[in-house]
Amino acid sequence: MRAVLAVAGLDSSGGAGLAADVCAITALGCHAKVAATAITAQSLSGIDGCSLVEPSLVRCQIEAAFQDLAPSAVKVGMLGTDETAAAVAHALHEAGASNIVVDPVLRSTSGTALFDGVRRRALPKGLAGLLRMAALATPNVPEAETLLGHEIGSAAAMEKSAAKLAALLGCPVLLKGGHLGTAHDYLAGASCDGWFGVEAVAGPSPHGTGCTLSSAIAAFLAQGADLATAIQRAKEFLAAAISGSCTLPEGTYLSLSRTRAW
């Protein structure tokens, strides 16, 4: 069995972060290892509190993950600070990690800031170093707009923006189109640039879709898929998960119970 390491925050609602990462990785037949960067108190509708884990402890968790059943891929989500980003980059470099998928989480779905220090066309040193190691970054449209400093309102703008981001971040970029109401994402900076999509699934966009997609891509890469195949299969996996989602009092919960066949 292949292992996948998820480096992210703990979402106490179970809808996103490490909880979503572990569900996706396990559903796809890999062993999930985790390194917690933060502990949050939240419901499916918002964050009530957050405590960051010391960068030295994050680094120690990553080092422990590679002591046995070394991860064949890594998904990185919420980091919180550039100091933590630098610690993660150093630990992954020392471990010889490969197939690193970075979901540059800057804000929660409800709008809470989850990373400080990002400015227009300028990245903090630690985050920049981590992204240069990545096989793929998976920003959504609001994150891309923050990084580039301009609005992205169309498919044509997504293509141009993804190319700009790939140059800025130093790694391939899959720009996700969900915030524009499309189930299609654009890949730039790789040998297989182009659109990746599935038929849109009816219903609200569930909490944790970005976490699930990036974790699924990492799981498929761990199993030997090339980047294009990993992205497309992850998109199909996510669509199946959304179709099985259920609505709770706090919001929409992404269910992976109907994706076990993967």
Residue 208 has pLDDT above 60, yes or no: yes
CB 88 within 8 A of CB 62: yes
pLDDT at position 182, please? 87
Average pLDDT (110-132) is 73
Q: What is the CA radius of gyration of the chain?
A: 17
Whole-angstrom Cα distance, residue 180 to residue 128?
27
Confidence at residue 140, expressed as pLDDT on a 0 to 100 scale: 93
**pLDDT score for 124:** 86
pLDDT tens-digit series, residues 14-64: 888 999 999 999 999 999 999 999 998 887 667 788 899 999 999 999 999
Across all residues in the chain, what is the average pLDDT? Answer: 88
Instruction: Give the model's pLDDT for residue 255.
Output: 59
In the structure, what pLDDT confidence band is assigned to residue 260 with cuts at 50, 70 and 90?
very low
Both tokens assigned to 77 = 């989500």
- The pLDDT, as a whole number, for residue 77 is 96
Q: Going by DSSP bridges, is the β-strand pair 3-10/31-43 parallel, antiparallel, or unpaired?
A: parallel
Map out the domains of the chain with their CATH numbers: 3-259 (3.40.1190.20)
